[in-house]
Structure 1
Amino acid sequence: MGERKGWAEKRAEVMQRPGAGAAYEAARIRFELGTAVRERREQLGLTQAELAERAGLKQPAVARLEAGGTMPTIPMLERIAEALEVRLSVEFHPLRDAS
C-alpha cells in the first residue's frame, strides 16, 4: 500500500487538472462574498430573514449566499449592498497582483 499524501500535495495534484484553477477561484470569490455579507449583517444585528426582506429576497437565498453556495449577479449584490447600508465596489486586479 502506498504512503498517504498530505493536503498540500493532494491540492497541488488536483489543481493540475484542467479547469481546476478557475473553479477554485470561483469558489474563493463565493466564499469571500458570503463571509462579507454575513459579517455586515451581524454588525447590523439583522437576521437572515430581516436581510432577505430588506433586499427583496427569500431567507434561503441569503443563507445560500452566506454559505458560498451561489454566485450572485451584480443586480443582486446591489440590492444586498443597499439592504446592508454599504456601497458596492467591484474591482479588477492584475493577475500577477491577485492573491
Structure 2
Amino acid sequence: MADGSNWSELRDTSLSDPEVREGYEAARIRYELGRAVRERRESLGMTQEELARAAGLRQPAVARFEGGGTMPTLPLLERIAAALGLRLHVGFEPLDRAG
C-alpha cells in the first residue's frame, strides 16, 4: 500500500466503524455456520444434493449456505441439523469468552 499502512491496520481502522463491524460479524457468523455444515456433511460422506434432498432444499441453496452466502433462519437451521443427524443448540455466551 502506497501510504505505508498494512492490511491489519486497514482492517482495524475499518472495524472501528460500527456499521462495518456489524457487517463483518454477520459475515463471520455465516461463514462459521456454513463451514460447520460442510464439515459435518463431508464427515457423513454426503453430497450437497443428498443434504439438500434430506433438508427439503435444492443443491444451489446448500452451496450458498456452505459458502456463507446466506443468513439462515432458525427453522432452516433445524431442518439442516436434522438432515445431518444433529440437534440445533442456540445459546448465548459472554463477549469476553467469545472467539
Normalised by the size of structure 2, how large is the TM-score? 0.93
**Matches for 1:40-55 after TM superposition, within 5 Å:** 40-55=40-55
4+ aligned runs moved over 3 Å, structure 1 = none
Alpha-carbon distance in structure 1 between the residues aligned to 2:48 and 2:19:
33
What does residue 59 of structure 1 align with? 59
Unaligned runs of 5+ in 2: none
Aligned mates of 2:68, 2:21 — CA distance in 1: 17
- 1:68 to partner: Cα distance: 0.3
CA distance in 2, matches of 1:8, 1:14: 10
Question: Could you tell me how far 1:96 is from its partner in structure 2?
Answer: 2.5
Q: SS of 2:75's equivalent? A: helix
Deviations 1:15-57 (A, max 9, x none): 1223111111111110000000000000111110110000000
Structure 1: segments with no counterpart, 5+ residues = none
State the one-letter code of the partner of 2:79: R
Aligned to 1:73: 73
Deviation of the 1:87 alpha carbon: 1.2
Q: State the percentage of identical aligned residues.
A: 60
